[in-house]
Structure 1
């Protein structure tokens, strides 16, 4: 794929790449450096001072290696914040004022959904969860949480950027997790016989056995952490059924279940708008923090190993970054409001 435009220019073929995680693929210095270069170029071309010479230099850079083209696509995807929009309409939507901007965003989202049907983009985790979230009964946006009380008294908390559907019938109680993460406090069913309470993801089902637990659906699979009682895990493409007890967590996919590992209530601190790392690596912490803010939050490989312990209120993620700079040998580099990296001093 050869690219000849710039920000607001045209691309030979539209490519959807999900926003990068806090650590770019490979987590190496080279990957990180390329993404940094792409971010710098994006900032240059967005500037009012950008000229034809800048665009020619950018074209030379992006065509020098496929790694540059991939990094550029990732930076544009982060800037879009809409998951499936191409560079030109996304830039127009972000620039339009007030009601005009909101109307354009809705129109573009609808257009992208139609265009995406039948495209390979629908095979990606981000595209699937994006479309499922658009149609879900209940959802939250980035940085928001929500509490639901269901008809039987079961309480469900939705974490940031999450979506669920709820199906209660005469024989079952089912919560379908379309994206993100939920905390469930199950209630005893008043019907006789009692209906089972299940949380399903594309990877399988979690059946509550009088319990309090979280379920998270992510690109690498699903995860359950149990705080009270126990749950049964059944897989989408296997007959295997495993038990997860209070104080433990397990990962699972469509045909595999990981080993039990110790877990505790800190995994659900987000219900109280907190992150409570306990000897957590900095890169893992930033990956979690990045779920609560728009844009890209990156970590340089040189500082990824640093460890964190503490309580961090999620109401102000920028303040958390300031605290990190004051307590760790790092500094925060802000190339824009949506592109932030934590780097070594």
Structure 2
């Protein structure tokens, strides 16, 4: 375990300890000493507290005056270091601007999901839409077009024949380009500036934004592309849309990849130690029942799941 991980783990342990009504003043004093011993401890404590606030689970038993007092005991050099850290965090303003933009997108969305939520909807033309966790979609259905704009996250579409106006094309618009399905069932997921499209039935024409020529992606294939071009089509995993049924299917997936996928569906801290990241995982995991997932991993792999609070989970070597 590297130093940063170890410190974060210690902060989580202290947070769990201070939530216990049986915590005595001696333990609180040891926590204050730990907090004052190193600026990295204070930084990790702030991170754990921020995670807890996302869940509105801060207990009134937590001694806030003790926290302020502990910071007051930091010597001048440590406070100077903390000040420098605070200045470096000025980039948080950019993150705040991003959150404001996302809030506006949700406000103007036709369909959206929160973290951990999945939703199914019937579109005006009879097509069926599934939205995965933390996703945002706008619709533009009129006499000329059937357009769906994916602003964030992941969707799956089962397209329907447009019996009312057969000439209207169906299109998914993305920052990276456009998708034009041909009687199909497919999914698309935004990953930063790139997208990944997977075709389960039929075919999809993929057109990166800066290219004049589109690419035809057939059944059973997936493709990653961005505005400048596309990669090489590959065989799609057979259960790539299992999330529409509330499941995550792993067939030889690395544990680190499994953890990254699960992290999309929950708030808080979820990580695995580097020494177990490469373990291979096989199984079907219910996305809405995390405790079952942790128990299954402990049964099938040489790991233990450290979870002092529901929102702080770290998978480590057993």
TM range (shorter): 0.7 to 0.9
* Structure 1 runs not aligned, ≥5 long: 1-27, 83-92, 98-117
- Residue number among 116, 138, 150 corresponding to 1:143 in the alignment: 116
**Higher relative contact order by CA 8 Å / sep ≥ 6: 1 or 2?**
1
Provide the residue aligned with 1:120 in structure 2.
Answer: 94
Distance in 1 (CA, whole Å) between partners of 2:16 and 2:193 is: 32
Shift of residue 327, structure 1, vs aligned partner: 1.3
Matches within 5 A, 1:81-120: 81=54, 94-95=57-58, 119-120=93-94
1:173-223 deviation line (CA, Å, top 9, x unaligned): 111122221110011122445211112233222111211101112336221
* Structure 2 runs not aligned, ≥5 long: 61-91
1:275 counterpart = 2:248: yes
Distance 1:148 1:299, change over 3 A: same
**TM-score (norm. length: structure 1):** 0.71
**TM-score (norm. length: structure 2):** 0.77
Shift of residue 243, structure 1, vs aligned partner: 2.5
Provide the residue aligned with 2:176 in structure 1.
Answer: 203
Distance in 1 (CA, whole Å) between partners of 2:124 and 2:168 is: 13
- Residue number among 58, 67, 87 corresponding to 2:35 in the alignment: 58
Provide the residue aligned with 2:85 in structure 1.
Answer: none
Count of residue pairs brought into register by the alignment: 283
Shift of residue 318, structure 1, vs aligned partner: 1.1
1:311 match: secondary structure = strand
Provide the residue aligned with 1:184 in structure 2.
Answer: 157
Distance in 2 (CA, whole Å) between partners of 1:226 and 1:55 is: 55
Shift of residue 140, structure 1, vs aligned partner: 2.1
1:164 counterpart = 2:137: yes
1:322 counterpart = 2:295: yes
Larger-gyration structure (1/2): 2
| Contact preservation (8 Å) 2:7, 2:40 | no
| Contact preservation (8 Å) 1:62, 1:72 | no
1:111-170 deviation line (CA, Å, top 9, x unaligned): xxxxxxx9422565x664454234422122333321111111100011122221211021
2:313 match: secondary structure = strand
Distance 1:127 1:53, change over 3 A: farther
Structure with more of its chain in strand, by fraction: 2
Matches within 5 A, 1:255-294: 255-294=228-267
1:303 counterpart = 2:276: yes
Shift of residue 342, structure 1, vs aligned partner: 0.8
Distance 1:315 1:94, change over 3 A: closer
Shift of residue 313, structure 1, vs aligned partner: 2.5
Distance in 2 (CA, whole Å) between partners of 1:120 and 1:190 is: 46
Shift of residue 235, structure 1, vs aligned partner: 2.6
| Contact preservation (8 Å) 1:292, 1:317 | no
Distance in 2 (CA, whole Å) between partners of 1:128 and 1:161 is: 14
| Contact preservation (8 Å) 2:176, 2:193 | no
Coordinate RMSD, CA, aligned: 3.1
